[in-house]
Structures are given as structure tokens and as C-alpha cells.
């Protein structure tokens, strides 16, 4: 019996519930015995009482992408989908994951971490992106164009975690899904808003997703190759998604990596998989069988 573990108590709970329901329906449609389990942060004892052959982890954010649930499953020798606890923990921390890539030929924007309550002014020019170090879905992110607005942005990020202040790279956003350690077609993300925030990801229908991306094959190949290199360097496995910003000189900068990407109607890995000829049901089975 496959346990589809969803929910959690992170800021991405609602997205996780939507993703989890979609994964569950795909498994049932494919004839796989499965059940949904809504983890609320302290009810794992209920899960251990059930008969489980494997866990399909579809928890986004804290608890699901930071290695916590993976560690609990590893202690009990229960197989699960996706990256292990150590790589999940590393990837969830935007600052530490960037540090781990510094010996690669990967462009990284200037950045600095401001601990909670530590008001810092970066020693690199703005504009800046200010975001929680360990949140996903662009939760708590602000674009700061003036030092006068930096404090408000930091306080917004500190609601969730320490803050990462990054040099804002002017350019276009692209993402590369990874499935069975191979790169899926590149997606060009074109939000109508200023940037690809939570609203643009999950609510707005105005955001355009162009797949395959409308870029030169050479650039597409570079993005796919770098995504695989990053994925492997950070110790990831089975599936994930790597996000980039390509600047006005066609230079790609690594943004972040997602070890449990969304699986909703607005999600990007299903979009890329569909472009590669995979139905949503087949994508779910590929992820399940890879682990």
C-alpha cells in the first residue's frame, strides 16, 4: 500500500494538499493501492500503524523538503520517493545550497544572510531580492529597490526564517525538471506581475509557461546540463526541479532547487513531462518506481 503523505504545517500546506490529492487520484486511476495521509506535524504515530510498502512524499516546504519526514522514514527502513534526508536538508537552505555549488562553473548572484533581528545593508548594489532562507513557493519574498525599504522586506522574511539578501538579476526565469536523473524540456516562465511570486505560481491564470522554452537550442542545452550538474552535486535523486534566471547577456544564474516540486494544475514538472510525452499518471508512476 502506497501512503501519499501530504499537508504538513508549513506555509505551503494548501499547495501540498492539492498536489497530494492529484498524486493520489493518479495512483488510483493507474490501479495502484494507495491512501492519503494528512500529516499535521505531530500525528506520525497514526501513519506507523498502517501497512505501508512505500511513501510518496508530496510535502512542500518545512517538514517535507528539509529532510524531516525523510529522516523518520529512514529510521524505520520505509522506502520513499525523492531525495534523502541529508540532501533535502541541504537543498532547503538557499544559502547553504549556493555555498555547495561555488566550486562548479555555475553563476551565482551575490548574497548575504541576515539573521532574525540583524539589520544588514549588503555590500553589493541593489536592487535586491529578500527571501526566507528556508521557504519555498516564493513565500515571504520582496523586491527591494531602495535601502529605505530594506527593513520592511527583512521583517517580512523574518516571519518565516532568517533572510537571504541576493542581488536581483534582471532577466527571464526558466526552470528545468529532473526525472530519473534526466533533464526534462526547459520551461520559460512569463509572469504578468513583476516576478514569479506565490500569486503567479498558484492563483493567477495570466502567467505564461512556454514549453519547450522559446530559446536557442544551445542555451536550452546549457540549462539542462547545469540542472543535472547541480542536482547531482547536491546529492539529489529521482526527481526535482532547478530554477534559473537568464540575464540580459544570456548568462544563466542558479536560483534554487526544489526536491519536492508542486504537482498541481499550475505546476511545472507535469507541464515539462507532458511536453516530453508523459501523461500525469505516467509521471506519477515514474516517480514512484524510481525510488
What digits encode the pLDDT tens for the residues 222-251? 999 999 999 999 999 999 999 999 999 999
Is 12 noted as a catalytic residue in this protein?
Answer: yes
- pLDDT, tens digit, 9 for 90 and up, residues 164-176: 999 999 999 999 9
Cell of 227: 540542472
Every domain of the chain and the residues it spans: 2-81, 91-106+170-290, 111-167
Q: Which residues contact 43 (CB under 8 A, 6 or more apart)?
A: none
Catalytic-labelled residue, pool 137, 142, 267, 275: 137
- Residue 112 pairs in a beta bridge with 165
pLDDT of residue 193: 67
Please give the model's pTM, rounded to 2 decimal places: 0.91
Q: What is the DSSP letter of 186?
A: P
User: Nearest-5° angle of CA 220, CA 222, CA 224?
Assistant: 70
Q: How confident is the model at residue 195 (pLDDT cuts 50, 70, 90)?
A: low
Of the residues 87, 258, 267, 275, only one is catalytic, namely: 258
Q: Which residue of the set 7, 8, 10, 12 is catalytic?
A: 12
Of 64, 173, 243, 267, which one is the catalytic site residue? 243
Q: Is 51 a catalytic residue?
A: no
Strand 142-144 with 187-190, pairing: unpaired
CATH code assigned to 111-167 = 3.30.1490.20
Which residues on neighbouring strands pair with residue 7, listed in sequence order?
39
82 is annotated as an active-site residue? no
Range 2-81: architecture per CATH: 3-Layer(aba) Sandwich (3.40)
204 is known as an active-site residue? no
91-106+170-290: what fold? D-amino Acid Aminotransferase; Chain A, domain 1 (3.30.470)
Chain centre to alpha carbon of residue 140: 15
Query: How do residues 74-97 score in pLDDT, each as one tens digit?
Result: 999 999 999 999 999 999 999 999
Instruction: Please say if 137 is a catalytic residue.
Output: yes
Is 46 in the active site?
A: no
Bridge partners of 178, per DSSP, are 183, 240
Amino acid at each position: 500500500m502506497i501512503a501519499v503523505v501530504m499537508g504538513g504545517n508549513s506555509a505551503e500546506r494548501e499547495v501540498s494538499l492539492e498536489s497530494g490529492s492529484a498524486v493520489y487520484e493518479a495512483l488510483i486511476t493507474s490501479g495502484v493501492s494507495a491512501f492519503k495521509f494528512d500529516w499535521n506535524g505531530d500525528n506520525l504515530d497514526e501513519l506507523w500503524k498502517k501497512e505501508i510498502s512505500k511513501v510518496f512524499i508530496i510535502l512542500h516546504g518545512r517538514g517535507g523538503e528539509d529532510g524531516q519526514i525523510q529522516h523518520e522514514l529512514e529510521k524505520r527502513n520505509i522506502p520513499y520517493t525523492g531525495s534523502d534526508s541529508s540532501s533535502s536538508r541541504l537543498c532547503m537552505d538557499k544559502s547553504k545550497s549556493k555555498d555547495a555549488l561555488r566550486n562548479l562553473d555555475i553563476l551565482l548572484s551575490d548574497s548575504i544572510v541576515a539573521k532574525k533581528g540583524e539589520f544588514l545593508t549588503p555590500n553589493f548594489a541593489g536592487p535586491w531580492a529578500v527571501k526566507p532562507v528556508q521557504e519555498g513557493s516564493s513565500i515571504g519574498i520582496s523586491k527591494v529597490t531602495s535601502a529605505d525599504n530594506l527593513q520592511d522586506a527583512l521583517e517580512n522574511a523574518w516571519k518565516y526564517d532568517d533572510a537571504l539578501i541576493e542581488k536581483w538579476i534582471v532577466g527571464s526565469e526558466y526552470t528545468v525538471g529532473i526525472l530519473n536523473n534526466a533533464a526534462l524540456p526547459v520551461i520559460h516562465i512569463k509572469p504578468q506581475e513583476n516576478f514569479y511570486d506565490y500569486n503567479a505560481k498558484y492563483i493567477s491564470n495570466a502567467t505564461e509557461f512556454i514549453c519547450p522554452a522559446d530559446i536557442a537550442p544551445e542555451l536550452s542545452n546549457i540549462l539542462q546540463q547545469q540542472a543535472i550538474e547541480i542536482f547531482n552535486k547536491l546529492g539529489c535523486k529521482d526527481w526535482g526541479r532547478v530554477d534559473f534566471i537568464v540575464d540580459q547577456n544570456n548568462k544563466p544564474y542558479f536560483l534554487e532547487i526544489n526536491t519536492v516540486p508542486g504537482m498541481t494544475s499550475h505546476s511545472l514538472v507535469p507541464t515539462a513531462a507532458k511536453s516530453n510525452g508523459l501523461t500525469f499518471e505516467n509521471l506519477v508512476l515514474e516517480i514512484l518506481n524510481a525510488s
